[in-house]
Structure 1
Amino acid sequence: MKQISIDPRRSAKQGIDLNHETVKRHTEIYNKLIEDIPRSSQGTVWLNPYGTAPLSGYLGIWSESEEKIQIYITDNIGKSIPACYIWNTVKGANLIPILGMVPGSVNRIEVSVSGNNKNKYKEVFSIETAPLPPTDREIAVYPKDARFVGFPIYEVTVSADDIPETLSELYFTAFAARYNTGADDRGMVRWYTTDDIPAWNFERLSNGHFLSAAPEFDEGKLLYEFDMVGRVYKVFVLDNQCHHSVLQLPDGNILLPSEYTGESREDGLSIIDYKTGIELAYYDIREILDTKRPPIPKTVPVKDWIHINQSYWDTVNNLLISSGRHQGIFGIDKDTAELAFILASHEDWSGEFEEFLLTPVDESKNPLYDLSDPNDIENANKEFWPWGQHAVVEIPNATKGIAEFLVLDNGNYRSRIREHALTAEENYSRVVRYRVNLDEMTVTKVYEYGKEEVGNRGYSSYVSNAELLENGNYLVNFGGGTFDENGRRRTTIDGFADISDPLSGEMVQGMVLIQEVNPITGKPRLEFTCTSGRFKGKDEGKKFTVDLYSFRTHKLTLIP
C-alpha cells in the first residue's frame, strides 16, 4: 500500500485575520453599546446595530444579579407566530439578542423576568422594521451584468397543521450570493443577513455562531464567523477556496474541501485549526482515488474531476466520508488516508480500485444486481447509485464496521452511457439513506424519498442538501431547481450537467423547493417553494441557466 502523506501544506497567508476591518468595527460597536447601557432598571433597544441583520437587534439592560429574562415579540397586525425565548443574564451590563422580528411591522418587545418574580421587572418596547428588500420581480430594470440581486419569494405550498404557538425554530436557508434567511412555519422571513456577510455554505458552530464563505469574498478564501445579530467575530483566511461545505468536527476543528490552486479543483480535504486558522492536515484525493475515470456529470473546466462537496468524520470507524460529485461517495482512514470504500457505479474504474467497490444488497444481504449483466448495470444506475450527489450527512451509529449516511442524490445523467442518460425534464432528485457494511463491503438502500413523491418538480441539477431532524423527519432542500418560460425543467449547463434538451426554452428562472418530510407517511409536513420571481434571458447577461439556488437549508433553534 502506497504511503500517503496527510501533512499540512505550506501556508501562504493562512490564519485568522486579527486586523480585519469588519471584525474591528463590529467589536467597537459592541463595546460602545455595552458602555451605553443605563446603570438602572431601565433598558434600551437597538435595531440592526451592525447593519448586517435588519430583523435583529439588542436589548441592553443592567442586571444586579444573574436572572432569566423572557423576551416575547409580537407584531402590530397580530398575524405572525409570536417569538418567545429565555435569556440568562450576567451581573452587570447585558446585550440580549432581539431575534425573530417581523419585517415591515411595528414589533412589540415585551421583556420580563421569567419564573416567580414576574413583577420584579417588566418593560415593553416598540421597534419598527423595514419591509424585506425587493425581489427580482419588483426590480424595474434588472442589472444586465448582475447574476443575483433580489430577495427570494417564499410561498407555502403545503401548510403545516401543527404550527407552534410560539416561535422556537426557523428554517435557515442560504440563497447563494443573495441572502441568508430564516423563515417560520408560515413562510414569513424572521431573520436575514445583508450582502456584507457570505451567503453560500453556512453551518452553525457549537457556540451558536454561523460559519460561511462565498465566491464574492476573495473567491471563497475568506470564512466569516458571525451570529444572529449580524456581528462578525472572526475571518479565517484560506490559501484555497472553500466552495462547498464547512463542518465543525467533534474536536472543534473545521473540515472543508480544498485543492492545490492552479492544478485541480476541490479534490482534497483540509482540516483547519479553529483557534488559529492554520491547516492541521491535508488529504490529497488525487493520491487516493482514480483520477483517470471520466467524470459524470461532465465538467467545466476539465480539471474538476471529482468536485468534493461535503464530508464528515465517522468517529466510530475513524473514517472521513466524502461526496465527490463526479465520482461517488468514498471513505478514507483519517489517520492514514488509506481508501476504505467507494459507493458508486462499478463502471470505468481501474483494476486496483475494484476491491473497494461496494456491492448493493437488500436487508437480508442478498445481492440486488448481477453487475456483469449490462441490463442490471443500467437498472442499478437508475435505481440504486447516486449521481452528482450532494450533502453526505452522518446518521449516528455506534456499531463499528457499519457506516450510515443520508445523501441528496441530484440524479445527473443516471447513466455513464449517453444513450441511456436522462434530460432534466425526464429526471428527478431524491434523498437516499445508505448503510455500508465495511466488513462485508456491501451497501443497503435503507430509505429513499423523492422519485415518486416529488418527481420532476424537485429535480435539481446541482447543489441541494438533506438532513435528519430530531423529530425523525427529513428536511430536504431541492436547492438547484430551474425551469423555463414553458415550465419545463432546465439544467445548469446543457450537455455538461445533463444531456442537452432540444425542447428547452429561451428564458430561465430558479426555484428552491424545501420540504420537511414525515418518513412514515412519505408526505411533507410543510413545503416552501422559493423563486426569484423573474424569468431572465441572454439579454440580461445570463451565460448559464443559473438563477436562484441554495446550497444549504437547516432547521435550527432561533436561540442557539
Structure 2
Amino acid sequence: MHKRVWLPLLAALAMPVSAGSLEGLKPIAVGPLGMVEMNPFGLAPLTAVIKDAGHSLSQVKVTVEGKGEHGVDISYPVEERTLANYGGVPVFGLYPNYNNRVKVEYLLGGKAQTHTYEIWANQVDFGSAGASQWAAQPEIKVNQRAPEMADRLYLVNFTGPTGGDAQLAHNNPTGPGAFAWDGTPQIFVTDTQGEIRWYLDPSIHDAKQYDMAGYLMGLHQVDGGKLIFGQGQSYYKMDLLGRLSFKRPLPGNFIDFSHEIQQMPNGHQLMRVAKKDYLTPEGKLVNTIRDHIIEVDADGSLVHVWDLNTILDPYRDVTLSALDMGAVCLNVNLKDAGKQMTKAELASAPYGDIPGVGPGRNWAHVNSIDYDASDDSIIISSRHQSAVIKIGRDNQVKWILSDPRGWSEDYQDKLLTPIGADGQPLSCFKGKCQGEFDWSWTQHTAYLTPKGTLSVFDNGDGRHNRQPMFAKDKYSRAVEYRIDEQKMTVEQVWDYGKERGWEWYSPVTSIVEYQEDHDSMMVYSASAMLFGVGGGLGNFKHSEGAGIVKSNLVELKYGTDEVLVDMDINSNRLGATGYRAVVIKPEF
C-alpha cells in the first residue's frame, strides 16, 4: 500500500524541471528591488537588508518613518561600498511589533527612484527571567525633550540576572577571580519618544560557554558606525546590523574583561582585564580582580600591559573602609547595606571578587579608561580608590585626582592641588574642600573632552571617605574638572546632580560624556534607587506594583543645568541594573 502511494510521487519529484517552472522557487520581492531579509546576521532583530537583486544602486537614503503623529524618523545615507558589503540596502531602526514604513530613495540607471516598503518586525525578546520579571522589556518614560534633540538615539546597557547565569568559574580555588559574576545582557537603543528601535539578541551570551559568559559591557561606537564591547573572556567588534567583524579571546593569561574597552586612534584596543595565575609578593598564586589594563593591536596581539599592583599602592584602604558593602558595584548584597569593613577585615579578606587590599582582591576596581594621544598616556577611574589617575606608557604615574589622605610618600608629588576660579589653592580638611570644589567619590567614567577638560560621574558613595549619618544624604553628580599638568592643579568648572538628591543617587555604574554635535553633556544615573540600598525607600513602582530600579538619562546644554532631554529608563526585572548609555548614530 505504502509503495503504491509513495513510489509514483518519488518518481515525479525526480523528473526534470523546466526553466519556466523554477520561477516559482524564487523569493518573492515586495518592491522594485529584491527580497527583504530580516535580522540578516542573527543578532539585531530590528534590522533588515533589502537585497539589491543585481541592481546597481547609488546615492541611497533610507528613512524608517516614525510611528504615529509624534514618532521619530530615522534617516541615513548609505555608501556604495556598504551596499556591496550587504548585497543590498541596510535597514536600521524598525519599531518592534509593528508594520514599519521604510522609504528608500536611490539612483538606478541615472534616474531617481523612491519606494516605500512595509516591513513587519516582531516584539522585543530578551528572554524570560521567570518570577523576577514583570514585562517583556524595560519601561521608558520621556519627561522632556527639546525640539533640536528629536532625532537623538541612545544605546542603553542593562543586565538582567537569570537562573542560568554564573555557571562557570576559573579553576583556581586560592583566587577564583571575577568570572562567577555573570548576567544576561539587555542592550537596546531608544529614541526620544521612549520607543525601542534596536536591540542586541541575548543569544550573544551563553552562561554555559566559557568564551560567551560574563557581563557584556564597555560599548562604544567606532569606525563609522560599528560597536566595540567585551564580555568575560572575549571582546568584539560588530556593525549595527549584527555582523561581527571579530570575536576574539583575551590574550595570554588575561581574564575577566568588564567595564571598559576603548579604541585608540591607531586602531588598537585598550581593555580593563585581570591576570590569571598572578604570583603575589607572599608567593601565593591568585587570579587578580579588575587591576590590569592591556593594549592589543588590530590583529589581537598584546602590545602593552599596565599592572596596577606595581604602579599604584594596592594596600591603600582609605576608600575601601568607607564603602557601603550593600552595593560594591558588581556585587549587590542587601543584607550588608549600610555596613563597612574594618581595616583588619580588608587585609584578611579571602581572595576573590570582594573588597580587600592586595593582589587577588577587589582593591582597585577600575571602571573606565581613556587615552590621551597628546602624550601617549591612559587615564583610569579606580572606584575603590576614589581616584582618577593618569599613567604613561612608561608605567609611571603622571597625576592623581583624589583626596590626598592615605597616599604614601611615593605618590605625594603626583597629587593634584585643588584651586578656585581665581587660581588660588583651596584648603581641604578630612576630604572636604573650600567653596564648590569636591573630589569624585567611587566614581565612574573619567573621560577627556574636546574642551581640554575631564568629565566624571561622581557616584558619591563613601563621600569624604566616610558614610553619612543618614543614608538619604547621599547624592551623585556629573562633574567637570580642568587640570593644569604643568602646575599640578585641578579646578572644578561645572557639576550637575547634587540638587536632585537621594532619588537620583546611583551607588554604582553610570556615565557622563561630552557630545560634540550638540555641545552638550549626556549624563546617565544608571542605578538610582537600587533596591533602596543604603536606606532608600525603593519606592518607584511599575504599573503592577513591584519595586524596581529607576535610572535616569539627561542631556544638558554644555556648562549649564539646562535640560535638553530627560528620560527615565526602568528595568523590567528585579535585579536588573543599568550600566551605561551611549549616543548612537546610524552610520553606514
Q: State the match for 2:290 in structure 1.
A: 266
Is the contact between residue 523 and residue 553 of structure 2 (CA under 8 Å) also seen in structure 1? Answer: yes
In structure 2, relative to structure 1, the CA distance for the partners of 1:529 and 1:416 (3 Å cut) is same
Is the contact between residue 383 and residue 443 of structure 2 (CA under 8 Å) also seen in structure 1? Answer: yes
* Match for residue 457 of structure 2 among 399, 408, 425: 408
SS at match of 1:326: helix
Distance 2:453 2:445 in 1: 13
Distance 2:419 2:34 in 1: 63
Q: Are 1:386 and 2:451 an aligned pair? A: no
Deviation at 1:171, TM superposition (A): 0.9
Bigger-Rg structure (1/2): 2
* Match for residue 44 of structure 1 among 35, 50, 60: 35
- What does 1:410-559 align with in structure 2 at a 5 Å threshold? 410-418=459-467, 421=468, 424-452=471-499, 454-470=500-516, 471-484=518-531, 490-491=532-533, 500-501=534-535, 509-533=548-572, 536=574, 547-559=575-587
Deviation at 1:246, TM superposition (A): 0.6
- AA in 2 matched with 1:45: V
Q: What TM-score, normalized by structure 1, do the two folds share?
A: 0.77
Range 100-109 or range 518-527, more displaced: 518-527
SS at match of 1:68: strand
- AA in 1 matched with 2:458: D
Deviation at 1:515, TM superposition (A): 0.7
Query: Which runs of 5 or more residues in structure 2 are unaligned?
Result: 1-25, 160-183, 206-215, 277-285, 329-353, 541-545
Is the contact between residue 257 and residue 267 of structure 1 (CA under 8 Å) also seen in structure 2? Answer: yes
* Match for residue 370 of structure 2 among 299, 309, 312: 312
Distance 1:183 1:504 in 2: 25
SS at match of 2:453: strand
Q: State the match for 2:309 in structure 1.
A: 286
- What does 1:27-106 align with in structure 2 at a 5 Å threshold? 42-62=33-53, 65=56, 67-74=58-65, 77=68, 79-90=70-81, 94-106=87-99
- What does 1:278-357 align with in structure 2 at a 5 Å threshold? 278-294=301-317, 296-297=319-320, 298=323, 300-302=354-356, 303-327=361-385, 328-334=387-393, 336-357=394-415
Distance 1:210 1:123 in 2: 30
Distance 1:135 1:234 in 2: 25
Is the contact between residue 150 and residue 178 of structure 1 (CA under 8 Å) also seen in structure 2? Answer: no
Distance 1:114 1:360 in 2: 59
Is the contact between residue 482 and residue 508 of structure 1 (CA under 8 Å) also seen in structure 2? Answer: no
Distance 1:123 1:43 in 2: 12
Q: What TM-score, normalized by structure 2, do the two folds share?
A: 0.73
- What does 1:97-246 align with in structure 2 at a 5 Å threshold? 97-113=90-106, 120-133=112-125, 141-142=130-131, 151-162=137-148, 164=150, 167=151, 169-176=152-159, 177-197=184-204, 199-214=216-231, 220-238=232-250, 239-246=254-261
Deviation at 1:46, TM superposition (A): 1.1
Is the contact between residue 319 and residue 332 of structure 1 (CA under 8 Å) also seen in structure 2? Answer: yes
Distance 1:381 1:37 in 2: 70
The CA RMSD measured in Å over matched residues stands at 3.1
- AA in 2 matched with 1:235: K
Is the contact between residue 361 and residue 442 of structure 1 (CA under 8 Å) also seen in structure 2? Answer: yes
Distance 2:528 2:434 in 1: 25
Spell out, residue by residue over 1:265-314, the C-alpha distance to the aligned partner (whole angstroms, 9 max, x if none).
Answer: 1112100112x212111011111112221052446242111111111121
The alignment-based identity, stated in percent, is 23
Is the contact between residue 64 and residue 73 of structure 2 (CA under 8 Å) also seen in structure 1? Answer: yes
Is the contact between residue 323 and residue 389 of structure 1 (CA under 8 Å) also seen in structure 2? Answer: yes
- AA in 2 matched with 1:530: I
Q: Are 1:249 and 2:264 an aligned pair? A: yes
- AA in 2 matched with 1:193: L
- AA in 2 matched with 1:319: S
Distance 2:471 2:96 in 1: 37
SS at match of 1:196: helix
Distance 2:418 2:109 in 1: 59
Distance 1:504 1:55 in 2: 33
SS at match of 2:554: strand
Distance 2:416 2:108 in 1: 56
* Match for residue 363 of structure 1 among 394, 404, 421: 421
SS at match of 1:457: helix
SS at match of 1:425: helix
Is the contact between residue 322 and residue 331 of structure 1 (CA under 8 Å) also seen in structure 2? Answer: yes
In structure 2, relative to structure 1, the CA distance for the partners of 1:424 and 1:50 (3 Å cut) is farther
Distance 1:41 1:505 in 2: 54
Distance 1:85 1:211 in 2: 21
Is the contact between residue 160 and residue 185 of structure 1 (CA under 8 Å) also seen in structure 2? Answer: no
Deviation at 1:63, TM superposition (A): 5.8
- AA in 2 matched with 1:132: V
Distance 1:525 1:75 in 2: 20
Is the contact between residue 413 and residue 422 of structure 1 (CA under 8 Å) also seen in structure 2? Answer: no
Q: State the match for 1:544 in structure 2.
A: none
Deviation at 1:553, TM superposition (A): 1.0
- AA in 2 matched with 1:237: P
Q: State the match for 2:281 in structure 1.
A: none
The count of aligned residue pairs is 472
Is the contact between residue 127 and residue 202 of structure 2 (CA under 8 Å) also seen in structure 1? Answer: no
SS at match of 1:108: strand
